[in-house]
Structure 1
Amino acid sequence: MSKYTSFPEPGDDHNPFQDPAVTQHSSNTEYATLDLYNPFDNKNGPPPPAYAATAPSAPQPVVPATTPPSRTTPTEPRNYGTSFTPQTAVNATTAELLRKQEELEKKARELERRERELDSHALGPGATRQNNWPPLPTFCPVGPCFYQDINMEISQSFQHTVSIMYYYWMFTACTLAFNLISCLSLFCVEPSGGVGLGLAILWVLLFTPCSFVCWYRPVYKAFRSDSSFNFFAFFFIFFVQVIFYVIMTIGIPGWGFSGWIVSLAALKTSVPVGVIMMLNAILFTAQAAMGVVLLKRVHSLYRQTGASFVKAQAEFATGVMSNQAVRQAAANATASAAQGAFTGAAR
């Protein structure tokens, strides 16, 4: 077998390190070996040329990749005493949507009001608006008497107060109508109360339109044009109206008011009628209390507008002199006085 290959047979006594190629390489000093050069020993000097030529380049220092700092905070939401559930998130989202919807509706109303203001200014100073209050049907022979638009004519900071005054006037009208029903029920069980029924009819027919014209319209025009004269007219008339409300609450017999005195007396005659009149007395009490609160509120807003009694006098004088009838009467009186003086001087 050995004649076909260069490898000796296993049984042959052969030393592989005695090969002439190996011994010849070991004896050659041009090649670096471990016995000739130690890289960690500085005494031997620089490496041999053969080792320097064949020595691999020094490996680049490996810079460890920076890893993001580990999160110390837990990924789950902290529990501060309330459980966070999907239902809570849905409720919060719904509340946010409702709030945004309310803001959009408010902006839409403001834009609509400004659009109507622009339309009204486009009409010019000489143009007249069509009356819209009271809202009567078209077949009614009597048309509306006033023009009223709180959202357009009243400043936004005073719209809430004027709206409350309007609702308060409606409440007083309904209370007077209920007072008429109470007096009618008392008249059914006690025919001697005809005077009270007649006065109740008079109060509902008198106070309902007069209260609208005498104190609601002045406060409306006061906030609309910052009129000091209308403020003072409102304060005087509404104060008198509040005194009447207190008298209504007391319920003096024979005055046509279903107050506390008449209501307690009606309980002896008929319990159902007495209960109805006591409900009316409660409404009168609430009416008087609300009147005092609203009077104080309007007075506080009046102090913020800069109105004064001097301005009220100036407005009154300007309004009187701008009236055509007043100017005609003054001119006639002046002409009569001048004619009388001229006649007297001629005599």
Structure 2
Amino acid sequence: MSEFDSNPFADPVDVNPFQDASVTQATSGISERIGEFNPFSATEMGNRSDTTIPISSVSSQPAILQTSVEQSAQATAAAAQVNLIKQQEELERKAAELDRKEQDLKNRTAGRANTGAKENNWPPIPKVFPVKPCFYQDFEEEIPEEFRRICKRMYYLWMFHSATLFLNVLACLAYFTADSQYGVDFGLSILWFILFTPVSFICWYRPVYRAFRSDSSFSFFFFFFVFFFQVAVYIIQTVGIPKWGNSGWIASISMIGRNLAVSVVMMVVAGFFTVNAVLAVILLKMVHSKYRRTGASFTKAQQEFSQGVLTNRTFQTAAASAATSAVQGTFVSSD
């Protein structure tokens, strides 16, 4: 009833909505929190970190890039491993092929030595001649492929050597016709051609052929010993000392004032001797490089020599005869 008794025309009382108890309590709590708020404090930073975007989602792109790099590195390593496996298989195949060829060569050599099935084919003499070939020679069958080229070059050098000696006979003949006092050169040139052609074949070409055929250390050392003197002979023939049977540079130059045509012929032969000397030095170096790769040594050469001597029937017969004679002489002296 009090509400009806009040004067409606009186001035209204100023009502402050913020003086309400519930509103005052709510605003006072917010003010306290605002006053205590510090955006740079550790607590607030920790609270804010809960609402930030995770770092894993931000750095997702570098992680994908790193995975691709690792995959490419693994692919490269796998390709390299496959390549190495292929190379190893290729090397094993080549080694097996070389072993097979070496075994076949040994079998053919042993079979030919035991049965004598292979007929000699060098020198290539017609069958109508009473003289038969003395040697068997086949580069494709007996010489391994890695030594075949150098062995053929040594054979060509021997052929060039023989042709030079023959031309030297003709040059010395011209030398003799120009001046009769040089008849000794013509005679010696014939001797050198008849002697050095077969001797060079037997003493240095056949040893190097046997060395490459059977990997013989003794044949290598014998070849080096003889061929060194052959190089020295080439140098002497190139110099051309008068009355030594060689149409070298000294002898050919000395004939320029007497007979120019003879001098030119002799100079050509002197050039041939020079080429022989140069090729001999080059091939000697090449054979030595091949020899170092074969594993030959002086010890192996001694063993091969001792085994060859002890297994030689002629040596065994001579040793048995000498021992028998010594024993008989001992018994006779004791009687």
Q: Please give the alpha-carbon distance, in whole angstroms, between the structure 1 residues aligned to 2:111 and 2:163.
A: 37
Tell me which of the two structures has the higher relative contact order, counting C-alpha pairs closer than 8 angstroms and 6 or more residues apart. Answer: 2
Q: Structure 1 counterpart of 2:201, which letter?
A: F
**Which of the residues 260, 263, 270 maps onto 2:259?**
270
**Residues 1:237 and 2:226 are matched in the alignment:** yes
What are the ranges of 5 or more consecutive residues in structure 1 without an aligned counterpart? 1-112
Cα deviation, residue 330, structure 1:
0.6
**Residues 1:280 and 2:269 are matched in the alignment:** yes
Q: Please give the alpha-carbon distance, in whole angstroms, between the structure 2 residues aligned to 1:192 and 1:127.
A: 56
Q: Please give the alpha-carbon distance, in whole angstroms, between the structure 1 residues aligned to 2:191 and 2:110.
A: 45
- 1:322–1:157: structure 2 CA closer, same or farther, 3 Å change rule? same
Partner residue, 1:320:
309
Where do 1:28-177 residues align within 5 Å? 120=108, 126-128=114-116, 129-177=118-166
Where do 1:176-255 residues align within 5 Å? 176-255=165-244
Partner residue, 1:338:
327
SS of aligned partner of 2:115:
coil
Q: Please give the alpha-carbon distance, in whole angstroms, between the structure 1 residues aligned to 2:110 and 2:202.
A: 29
For this pair of structures, how many residues does the alignment match? 234
Q: Normalising by structure 2, report the TM-score.
A: 0.66
Q: Please give the alpha-carbon distance, in whole angstroms, between the structure 2 residues aligned to 1:118 and 1:288.
A: 35
What are the ranges of 5 or more consecutive residues in structure 2 without an aligned counterpart? 1-100
Alpha-carbon deviations, 1:73-94, whole Å to 9, x = none?
Answer: xxxxxxxxxxxxxxxxxxxxxx
SS of aligned partner of 1:205:
helix
Q: Normalising by structure 1, report the TM-score.
A: 0.64
Alpha-carbon deviations, 1:260-286, whole Å to 9, x = none?
Answer: 100000111110110111111111111
Q: Please give the alpha-carbon distance, in whole angstroms, between the structure 1 residues aligned to 2:189 and 2:229.
A: 19
Cα deviation, residue 322, structure 1:
1.2
SS of aligned partner of 2:296:
coil
Measured on the aligned residues, the alpha-carbon RMSD in Å equals 2.2
Q: Please give the alpha-carbon distance, in whole angstroms, between the structure 2 residues aligned to 1:257 and 1:165.
A: 23
Q: Please give the alpha-carbon distance, in whole angstroms, between the structure 1 residues aligned to 2:208 and 2:148.
A: 12
- 1:264–1:125: structure 2 CA closer, same or farther, 3 Å change rule? closer
Q: Structure 2 counterpart of 1:194, which letter?
A: G
Q: Structure 2 counterpart of 1:258, which letter?
A: S
Q: Structure 2 counterpart of 1:267, which letter?
A: I
SS of aligned partner of 1:157:
helix
Cα deviation, residue 138, structure 1:
1.6
Where do 1:302-313 residues align within 5 Å? 302-313=291-302
Q: Structure 1 counterpart of 2:325, which letter?
A: S
